Amino acid sequence: MSSPVLRRVLHHLGNPLLKGSFRSMLFHLTKLLTSVLSIRCRGAAMATFLTLGLSSSLAHAQLSVLSEGNKPAQWKASQVATLKQQLAEPELASELKLELQSQLKWLSAWEPGKLSDTPLWETESQKKPWDEPSLDPNGLAGGLRQRLLGPEASPTAKDTAELKALLAAHDNDLGVRQLHLHWLDQAQYRKAYPQEIADAAAKVLALIDGVADPNRETVRAQAFTLYRRGRALIYRELPQVLVDKPMDDAESVKNAAELVGVFHQLKKLVAEPRPEFILLEDRMLRRDHWNGRALALLEDFGGQVAPHWFLKKRRDILRDLGWEIPAKEAAAIYAQAFPEELANESKE
């Protein structure tokens, strides 16, 4: 391991004057190298480990190069050994350590060929689910809400026209604004109107902020509204959405900043992970390339997340990690359980 390229890399990594954007780039490169643990090399007969000695702030990362002929059990054993070696590094940064521990926890629980449609470990103790409160302090939205979104709802054009008229007449009514948000933020509309949903949620949040003495129901409604806004901002960034609704660099930066702000507000209200909001928290971890932590969190709440989302997100995170063997297992399970959803993905 004495190539000129490696010597130059190590020289820069040890340079105490390393600052600014280059240092930041190396930090994110470290996270990426840690997430993508294996690179397959055709014709290689043995595993070669490249250790990058990083400064204390950049911590430590390692790549394992595996031969094409390794069996799943051998692959797992190699990954586990690599992770344990990384975790033994005394100056490992705390967040990177948590990421590696999460990866190790998942790989240790996974038995090749035995992945199923249930979580790998006993999930978090069941928390009583929260129902999203319907706010209607002035009593303007209740009847229409039942016709639009109630359990026996069969909305008509007259009902939607009434909602439009209510919005025009009572633009700052919290009940009307929340109903408008809930009507827009339905699964079939989320990819078509992500910005409109995010804006509608922002208006509801502004009205909640104006409540003089919010009770528990109002605070809980605020948390759900933050979740809805965050989800809409994530949908706004989806590649299939950007095809029809592109964003320039400034818009992308603004969207990302708003998303981070919304998530921080939600965590202030609800510090501990909850099943109602876990998919947003999982996405935020993935955005920062903490894929092992995202995977472990998904398993923690796997029994309380809708099966479709649990299986889909598990497949996606395993792919993000570059773990081809368990990713293929997860993809096959998802395809068998939700063939129509998979077919729809291929059309997008």
Residue ranges, the chain, pLDDT below 50: 1-67
Q: Are residues 179 and 228 in the same domain?
A: yes
* Domain-located, residue 278: no
* Domain-located, residue 226: yes
Q: Are residues 118 and 49 in the same domain?
A: no
What's the confidence (pLDDT) of residue 311?
98
What's the confidence (pLDDT) of residue 275?
93
What's the confidence (pLDDT) of residue 315?
98
* Domain-located, residue 164: yes
Q: Are residues 140 and 256 in the same domain?
A: yes
For the whole model, what pTM was predicted?
0.79
Torsion of CA 153, 169, 179, 212, to 10 degrees: -140
From 224, 241, 273, the end of a domain falls on 273
The sign one gets for the Cα dihedral 191, 292, 69, 64 is: positive
Burial of 39 (0-12, 13-18, 19+ CB in 10 A): middle
From 246, 273, 300, the end of a domain falls on 273
The domain of 70 spans 4-109
* Domain-located, residue 230: yes
From 109, 142, 168, the end of a domain falls on 109
Residue 315: name the closest of 336, 295, 293 by CA: 295
* Domain-located, residue 161: yes
Q: Are residues 165 and 118 in the same domain?
A: no
What's the confidence (pLDDT) of residue 26?
44
What's the confidence (pLDDT) of residue 128?
82
* Domain-located, residue 160: yes
Q: Are residues 170 and 230 in the same domain?
A: yes
Q: Are residues 122 and 236 in the same domain?
A: no
Q: Are residues 217 and 104 in the same domain?
A: no
Non-local CB neighbours of 43 within 8 Å, separated by 6+ positions: 67, 68
pLDDT digits (tens, 9 = 90+) for 60-99: 333 443 445 558 999 999 999 999 999 999 999 999 999 9
pLDDT digits (tens, 9 = 90+) for 103-146: 999 999 999 999 999 999 987 666 788 999 999 999 999 999 99
Provide the domain count of the chain: 3
Location of structure tokens 């920062």: 288
Q: Are residues 27 and 103 in the same domain?
A: yes
Q: Are residues 170 and 225 in the same domain?
A: yes
Q: Are residues 165 and 77 in the same domain?
A: no
* Domain-located, residue 255: yes
Q: Are residues 268 and 296 in the same domain?
A: no
Q: Are residues 78 and 91 in the same domain?
A: yes
Residue 216: CB atoms within 10 Å:
8
* Domain-located, residue 280: no
Residue 314: name the closest of 295, 339, 332 by CA: 295
What's the confidence (pLDDT) of residue 125?
67
